[in-house]
Amino acid sequence: MKNIFQKLLVNMGENKNIIKITQQKDEELNKEYDVYVIETDNKNYVIKKSSSNYEARIYEMLSVNKEFGVPMYLGYMQDDEENIWMLMEYISGNTINNEGLNTYCKLARELGKIHGKFLKIEQSNYDYKFLRNSNKRIEDKLLKIKEMDIHIKYKITDDILKKIDAIIRRMIKRPQTLIQNDLLPINVMKDGNNIKIIDWEHGTIGIYTSDIGRLLGDCKNDNGEQRVNKQWESDILNTYYMEISKSNHFTVTYEEFLNDYEYSRLINYVGIVFAFVINGWEVTDWYRLNLEKMVYQLKGV
């Protein structure tokens, strides 16, 4: 593996002597990732393994603006087994799990910049045809679920499915942009005063409020404790709205924005519930929590 890493560095014009390779691991989950910190004699890097160049192409899109809050992308190579190895800058900070309101407002500004840049994105454009579409993906899941017998085990009624169908149709008509599509605090790094949004492998085209809806709506445990302090919600939303409003393509009123945000919170819960149903997973407290939140959100739409 060291030979692959050394070749990647050379190919990208970073001809450095590798001193140490450290595979990244989630200690809490006891899970290893195909992400490696590479220490050289005078600089560190991150190398990430993937089965396709999908994430690399998204980083290439994001590289058009060096001021975006994402890791600096240096390029990729394919090995003899067709694995993709991406080379990126090393970020010395930590995730924002334990950060305060100011950090989350910085994140909201970075999101607003990125989303504003890619508003009105056209998937028919050759450069963007490769992107997945989150609306289409959840539509496909809904169609599959409609054909399944789920009423007893998963407690999802036909009325619930009809409401979700109507919401998906509405969301398709709202402003679309490039979204990270898994925006949790663990996927955001703070390096000094800078915010870096990492892990774009799930990036898609989707409604502009998807990321902020997941960030502020997702729970971190079965007790329903939110990942981000509920009291910060208004400040974070205001910051995001002010930033994305700088885009000439953004003509959404604040009231419309808040409605879009609530729909995106709902779709976050829908995504979790649908994953359980489609995969046939056993009902757990985590499922019940997200089902309860989904049903509650549906009452308000």
Which CATH number characterizes residue 293's domain? 3.90.1200.10
User: Residue 286: what are its φ and ψ, rounded to 5°?
Assistant: -65, -40
The verdict on 48 and 66 lying in the same domain is yes
The verdict on 135 and 276 lying in the same domain is yes
99-106 LR contacts (CB < 8 Å, sep 24+): 99/185, 99/190, 101/229, 101/232, 101/235, 101/236, 103/190, 103/195, 104/228, 104/232, 104/236, 105/235, 105/236, 105/239, 106/69, 106/193, 106/195
The verdict on 117 and 224 lying in the same domain is yes
The verdict on 58 and 142 lying in the same domain is no
The verdict on 170 and 68 lying in the same domain is no
Per-residue pLDDT of the chain (301 residues; tens, 9 = 90+): 788 888 888 888 887 789 999 998 877 667 888 999 999 988 899 999 999 999 999 999 999 888 899 999 999 999 999 999 999 999 998 999 999 999 999 999 999 999 999 997 776 676 788 999 999 999 999 999 999 888 789 999 999 999 999 999 999 999 999 999 999 999 999 999 999 999 999 999 999 999 999 999 999 899 989 999 999 999 999 999 999 999 999 999 999 999 999 999 999 999 999 999 999 999 999 999 999 999 999 987 7
Domain closes at, from 69, 90, 111: 90
The verdict on 248 and 139 lying in the same domain is yes
Closest by CA to 85, choosing from 6, 8, 15, is 8
The verdict on 176 and 275 lying in the same domain is yes
Residue 45 makes CB contacts below 8 A (sequence gap 6+) with 9, 14, 37, 38, 74, 87, 88, 89, 90
pTM, to two decimals: 0.92
Containing structural domain, residue 289: 95-299
